[in-house]
């Protein structure tokens, strides 16, 4: 998982608080068959309400936030709130209106159905 840090600023009263939020690119597997492109993105700890999928102008952006609940004082901490984000090019053959997704066990499954015009078809030959 590649990792970089992005600077995020929030206004807090008269001063400004600067908070570093790690950004990680989720590991992704992409499968294609004659009906759809199926994308699996590894986003552990992310819940459905914290995921956004945007498709615009041939680009698809996946983003999700992992928010950790901590109780008590931590003696050692390596897990933090994290943003997962990745952008892909989307072929014009995808039927955007039929795209759907589900998340289970930390894996986002994104179904990108192909339009009927993009699906292979058999041409019947008649004898003349």
pLDDT band at 72 (very low <50, low <70, confident <90, very high): confident
Q: Answer whether 109's CB lies under 8 Å from 101's CB.
A: yes
Domains in the chain: ranges and CATH: 3-11+23-116 (2.60.40.790)
User: Does the pLDDT value for residue 106 go beyond 60?
Assistant: yes
For the record, the structure tokens of 77 come out as 């901490």
- The stretch 89-95 carries a mean pLDDT of 92
* Burial environment of residue 43 by CB neighbours within 10 A (0 to 12, 13 to 18, 19 or more): buried
The DSSP letter of residue 58 is T
pLDDT of residue 2: 44
**Over residues 2-12, mean pLDDT:** 43
Q: What percent of the chain is predicted at pLDDT more than 70?
A: 83
Computed over every residue of the chain, the mean pLDDT equals: 83
Model pTM score: 0.72
Model pLDDT, residue 20: 67
């Amino acid at each position: 998982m590649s990792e970089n840090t992005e600077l995020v600023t929030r206004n807090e009263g008269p001063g400004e608080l600067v908070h570093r939020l790690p950004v990680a690119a989720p590991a992704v597997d992409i499968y294609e068959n004659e009906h759809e492109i199926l994308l699996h993105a590894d986003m552990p700890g992310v819940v459905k309400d914290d995921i956004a999928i945007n498709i615009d102008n041939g680009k698809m952006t996946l983003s999700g936030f992992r928010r950790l609940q901590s109780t008590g004082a931590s003696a050692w901490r390596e897990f933090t709130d994290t943003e997962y984000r990745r952008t892909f090019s989307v072929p014009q053959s995808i039927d955007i209106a039929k795209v759907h997704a589900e998340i289970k066990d930390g894996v986002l499954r994104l179904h990108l159905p192909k339009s009927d015009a993009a699906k292979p078809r058999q041409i019947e030959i008649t004898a003349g």
